[in-house]
A = this chain, B = another copy of it.
Amino acid sequence: MDVAAQMMERIEALGRISEEADCLSRPFASPAMRRANDLVESWMVQAGMSTKTDALGNLIGRFHGPHADSKILLLGSHLDTVRNAGKFDGPLGVVMAIACVEQIRCAKHALPFAIEVVAFADEEGARYQTAYLGSRALTGLLDEKDLALVDANGVTMAEAIKQFGGDPARLKSCRIAGENLLGYVEVHIEQGPVLEQKNLAVGVVTAIAGQTRATITFEGKAGHAGTTPMELRHDALCGAAEFILEAEQYARQHPGLVATVGQITADPNVSNVIPQRCRLTVDLRHQEDAMRERGCTDLDKFVMEIGRRRGLKAAWRMVQETASVPCSAELSVILREAARKHQPGVIDLPSGAGHDAAVMAKITPVAMLFVRCAGGVSHHPDEAVRNDDVRVALDVLTDFVLSLAARP
């Protein structure tokens, strides 16, 4: 069977393994994850790998190198999903890593390093509302306090790991030593529309963008919609509207910056009363932290300016800040060269979403290859990737591994 078609079949097979009958939901350490791990493990074995599952539940397949202490190249992605997920986010990278090993084995390429394919047990954080459990365990960054977190059914993370067959007391054993690693390379769907727009199958990720989440509140004065003249109003929603448009325009004027007001609530929120309070969220991302930080400063100033001008109490509250994670220039050059062989051009693009690679970067150089997805849709059953693009991605990844092997 054609290798791309086989990958698609495997992704379909994983897509049928769900905790819910009518949608794809495969949370961390669930019975569905157990079945997914078992299936993926069988593919790893077919591809000539030895396998193990670590104390958290990460599945790791090893394609041995020339020596027991050969350096290791990590490939992989995650097997867990959000609720009502698409089939490709995560599984694509795992299935592709296995297919890559299979191709290298079939072609009898002798590599100077080992490959380990990691199928992370949790990236989405859907079950415990805290993400990257898998890569945090692998890098030694998982906080043991997290074991006490409970899911929606009151099951602690420690219990869930035990039920899955892991060992919450031995999480430290999951840790792998960075000094033995050549790097971590992840193939993932883009989750955005840029590659589709550029008509390219794959793109090389420059960095995983840093992110700021903040909430903004405007507080004015409620008033009767019929009896309060326009010039005497202190309308919190009008202040919010100004901010929404300014955030949009500011991001448009600063290439690479994205700013999103995703959530808005007005109070009292009835049709015949002037809004007294309005609360907004803003999400800013840029691959350069300095640009994002300047964006926050400028938009914060604008919030205050709106407040002064409109007689509103205005507040900007930081909720979360995550620094940008640059991809390895060295690995990305090789990935870019490989991509150039298989499609008319190559583009570099930042990842606006977080990935296991962002955590893995704490201990080893990382690189990522994005694959075009239909309409940029992800975290939705409509997630779709073309057969041909999967084939291109596999060729690029395999070329990348061989080029890395050929390095002096």
Which residues from chain A sit less than 8 Å from chain B, CB to CB?
Answer: 190-194, 197, 209, 211, 213, 223-232, 235, 237-238, 240-242, 244-245, 248, 251-252, 257-266, 269-275, 281, 283, 285, 351-354, 376, 378-379
Closest to A283 in B: B225
Given contacts A197-B232, A235-B248, A283-B271, contact A227 B351 (CB under 8 A): yes
B272 and A262 form a contact (CB under 8 A): yes
Residues of B within 8 A of A224 (CB): 191-192, 352-353, 376, 378-379
Residues of B within 8 A of A245 (CB): 238, 241-242, 245
Residue contacts A-B, CB under 8 angstroms, 26 given: A192-B229, A193-B228, A193-B229, A197-B232, A209-B226, A224-B352, A224-B353, A224-B379, A225-B260, A225-B285, A226-B285, A226-B353, A227-B376, A232-B376, A237-B262, A238-B244, A241-B241, A241-B245, A245-B245, A262-B269, A262-B271, A262-B274, A263-B266, A263-B269, A263-B271, A264-B275
Closest to A378 in B: B224
Residues of B within 8 A of A260 (CB): 225, 235, 271-274
Residues of B within 8 A of A230 (CB): 248, 251-252, 257-259
A225 and B270 form a contact (CB under 8 A): no
Main secondary structure of the interface of A (DSSP, over half): mixed
* Shortest Cβ gap from A85 to chain B (Å): 14
A231 and B248 form a contact (CB under 8 A): no
Residues of B within 8 A of A192 (CB): 223-224, 226-229
Given contacts A191-B224, A228-B258, A378-B224, contact A281 B271 (CB under 8 A): yes
Residues of B within 8 A of A262 (CB): 225, 237, 266, 269-275
Tell me the bound Cα distance from A378 to B235 in angstroms.
Answer: 17
* Shortest Cβ gap from A150 to chain B (Å): 22
Closest to A377 in B: B223
Tell me the bound Cα distance from A281 to B272 in angstroms.
Answer: 9
Residues of B within 8 A of A229 (CB): 192-194, 258
Supplied contacts A238-B244, A262-B271, 7 more A-B pairs, CB within 8 Å: A224-B379, A226-B285, A227-B376, A228-B258, A260-B272, A262-B270, A262-B272
Given contacts A227-B351, A258-B225, contact A213 B251 (CB under 8 A): no
* Shortest Cβ gap from A370 to chain B (Å): 9
* Shortest Cβ gap from A225 to chain B (Å): 4
Tell me the bound Cα distance from A36 to B163 in angstroms.
Answer: 67
Residues of B within 8 A of A240 (CB): 241, 244
* Shortest Cβ gap from A373 to chain B (Å): 10
B226 and A258 form a contact (CB under 8 A): yes
Residues of B within 8 A of A209 (CB): 226
* Shortest Cβ gap from A343 to chain B (Å): 20
A263 and B270 form a contact (CB under 8 A): yes
Closest to A213 in B: B271
Tell me the bound Cα distance from A225 to B213 in angstroms.
Answer: 11
A269 and B264 form a contact (CB under 8 A): yes
Closest to A196 in B: B232
Q: For A194, A231, A261, which residue has the most chain B Cβ atoms within 10 angstroms?
A: A261
Q: A226: which of B211, B244, B265 is its contact (CB, 8 Å)?
A: B211
Residues of B within 8 A of A266 (CB): 262-264
Tell me the bound Cα distance from A7 to B376 in angstroms.
Answer: 68
Residues of B within 8 A of A376 (CB): 223-224, 227-228, 232
